[in-house]
């Protein structure tokens, strides 16, 4: 698909919109027709580690000069991906829901080896944060507008968006219909409350000697085993899968656990030489799994989870210092038994029927699997070893008892 980015000073839409001097891009489809438009300003604030176990914070903005090489215009899912600087990128995933579209996830990747933006960084990794956004319920053939500043926090990264004008799934040309964000919508003043001068006789209170029954506590239901999802990432429409994963997922946040239903989950991601990503987006959660390899072995290096609990509590947890699911490059990692991992203090990851291969996939199928210890033939040795240890302990206690009893008997005879 041919795409290009162009930068202009103003845009005339026949609507009252303050022109921003930010980043403006036009993405075209294979027929060279405009399919995605964005004009926006983004500021970043990133804290990172420098020498002597200290951290510092830098601030920079999304430049006007970007490339859109990996942007896609498809139905029902499109991606605006902006590359800038030395290995940095910022992207938004859009999906259609009936006659509406929405922005599902904002993903920001930054390269700490860029000494211009991150001087004296002790790490040269490329880190990624993913956050769900509240750009929702935008009618098809409608622009989204938000002049107000919108601060998005995700751990050590803050992103500030403002002067935003965008339209996904453009059919012919940029629409004159506009949906404004809530922050730009003027609030209706509340009418003062009028107090009535009439009096009302209160009903008499009847004292009852009966005691109210104690509240009943409903036990938390046990979740069923999550459905195993089959996820595939391709470099383009005409290629076979370059990252494949079969996995049942459950997320535990504090005292609540949530199964991931693959039937309602959107799949995206990327395949690289030494880093690949699998991103799963449901109605309430976004999970980003980042895999890395050192040419010999691959591993799950980072996990980023943002979501909302059943009570409406928003959360965002990430760990970019993991070393899980390790296997040789060119093979797959498999673990059918249930596993659980503490990712951060409040976040736990549960996996079921897991098989994953993020690198070296051939013909879109799994290569030979390296099994986890729980699935291996050696796992039966664990209960045997425990049994032997307990038997040995019982024998020691028995011997100690007999020796102690013999000494006490000898002492009585010597009196």
pLDDT digits (tens, 9 = 90+) for 192-236: 444 443 444 444 444 444 444 554 444 456 789 999 999 999 988
Distance CA 248, CA 113 (A): 35
Neighbours of 174 (CB within 10 A): 18
* Confidence label for 130 from pLDDT (cuts 50, 70 and 90): confident
Contact 127, 119 (CB under 8 A): no
Contact 47, 56 (CB under 8 A): yes
Distance CA 234, CA 354 (A): 20
* Confidence label for 408 from pLDDT (cuts 50, 70 and 90): low
Distance CA 171, CA 306 (A): 32
For 82-140, give the DSSP string.
Answer: EEETTTEEEEEEEEEETTEEEEEEEEEEEETT-TTTSTTBS--PEEEEEEE-----EET
| 347 class by beta-carbon count within 10 Å (0-12 exposed, 13-18 middle, 19+ buried) | buried
Q: Which residues contact 238 (CB under 8 A, 6 or more apart)?
A: none
Q: What is the pTM of this model?
A: 0.53
**Torsion 311-279-156-80 (CA) sign:** negative
Q: Which residue has the tokens 């980003």?
A: 288
Please give the average per-residue pLDDT across 318-340, as a whole number.
Answer: 93
Q: Do domains 23-184 and 229-378 have the same CATH topology?
A: yes
Please give the average per-residue pLDDT across 58-66, as a whole number.
Answer: 93
Q: Which residues pair with 144 in a beta bridge?
A: 166, 179
Distance CA 39, CA 11 (A): 9
* Confidence label for 142 from pLDDT (cuts 50, 70 and 90): very high
Distance CA 308, CA 314 (A): 4
| 90 class by beta-carbon count within 10 Å (0-12 exposed, 13-18 middle, 19+ buried) | buried
Please give the average per-residue pLDDT across 68-80, as a whole number.
Answer: 88
* Confidence label for 10 from pLDDT (cuts 50, 70 and 90): very low
* Percent of the chain clearing pLDDT 90 (strictly above): 47
For the chain, give every domain's residue range.
23-184, 229-378
Distance CA 32, CA 310 (A): 44
List the Cα angle 178/181/186 in 5-degree steps: 100
Contact 266, 281 (CB under 8 A): yes
Q: pLDDT at position 14, please?
A: 37
Distance CA 239, CA 303 (A): 27
Q: pLDDT at position 201, please?
A: 42
Q: Return the higher-pLDDT residue of 211 and 321.
A: 321
3-state secondary structure of 382: helix
Distance CA 324, CA 356 (A): 11
* Confidence label for 382 from pLDDT (cuts 50, 70 and 90): low
Strands 178-180 and 143-146: parallel
Q: pLDDT at position 242, please?
A: 94
Look up residue 393 and give its two tokens.
């302990």
Distance CA 9, CA 298 (A): 46
Among 74-88, 186-200, 252-266, 269-283, the range scoring the smallest mean pLDDT is 186-200
Q: Return the higher-pLDDT residue of 395 and 333.
A: 333
Q: What is the mean pLDDT of the chain?
A: 82
3-state secondary structure of 292: strand
The radius of gyration of the chain's CA atoms, rounded to the nearest angstrom, is: 29
CATH T-level fold of 23-184 = Porin (2.40.160)
Phi, psi dihedral angles at 216 (to 5 degrees):
-90, 140
Q: At the top level of CATH, which class does the domain 229-378 belong to?
A: mainly beta
Q: From residue 78, how far is each of 168, 176, 193, 369, 374 by CA, in Å?
A: 7, 21, 48, 34, 40
List the Cα angle 217/221/224 in 5-degree steps: 180
């Amino acid at each position: 698909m041919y795409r290009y980015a162009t930068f202009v000073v103003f845009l005339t839409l026949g609507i009252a919109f303050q022109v921003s001097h930010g980043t403006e891009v036009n993405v075209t489809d294979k027929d060279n027709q405009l399919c995605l438009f964005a004009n926006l300003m983004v500021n970043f604030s990133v804290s990172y580690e420098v020498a002597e176990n200290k951290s510092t914070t830098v601030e920079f903005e999304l430049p006007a000069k970007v490339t859109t090489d990996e942007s896609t215009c498809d139905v029902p899912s499109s991606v605006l991906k902006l590359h800038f600087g030395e290995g940095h990128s910022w992207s938004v995933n859009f999906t259609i829901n009936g006659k509406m579209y929405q922005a599902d996830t904002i993903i920001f990747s930054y390269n700490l080896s860029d000494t211009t933006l991150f001087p004296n960084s002790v790490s040269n990794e490329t880190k990624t944060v993913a956050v769900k956004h509240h750009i929702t319920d935008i009618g098809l053939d409608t622009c989204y507008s938000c002049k107000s500043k919108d601060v998005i926090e995700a751990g050590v990264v803050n992103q500030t968006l403002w002067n935003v004008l965008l339209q996904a799934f453009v059919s012919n040309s940029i629409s004159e219909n506009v949906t404004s964000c809530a922050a730009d919508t003027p609030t209706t003043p509340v009418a003062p409350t009028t107090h009535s001068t009439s009096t009302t006789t209160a009903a008499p209170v009847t004292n009852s000697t009966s005691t109210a029954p104690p509240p009943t506590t409903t036990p938390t239901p046990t979740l069923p085993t999550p459905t195993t999802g089959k996820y595939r990432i391709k470099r383009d429409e005409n290629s076979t899968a370059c990252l494949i994963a079969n996995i049942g997922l459950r997320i535990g946040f504090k005292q609540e656990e949530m199964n991931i239903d693959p039937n309602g989950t959107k799949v995206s991601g990327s395949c690289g030489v030494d880093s690949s990503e699998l991103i799963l987006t449901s109605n309430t959660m976004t999970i980003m799994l980042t895999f890395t390899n050192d040419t010999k072995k691959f591993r799950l290096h980072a996990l980023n989870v943002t979501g909302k609990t059943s009570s409406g509590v928003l959360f965002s947890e990430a760990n970019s210092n993991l070393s899980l699911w390790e296997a040789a490059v060119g093979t797959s990692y498999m673990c059918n038994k249930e596993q659980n991992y503490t990712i951060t203090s409040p976040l736990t990851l549960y996996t079921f029927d897991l098989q994953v291969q993020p690198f070296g996939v051939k013909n879109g199928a799994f290569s030979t699997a390296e099994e986890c210890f729980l699935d291996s033939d050696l796992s039966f040795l664990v209960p045997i070893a425990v049994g032997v240890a307990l038997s040995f302990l019982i024998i020691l206690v028995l011997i100690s008892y007999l020796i102690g009893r013999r000494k006490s008997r000898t002492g009585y005879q010597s009196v």
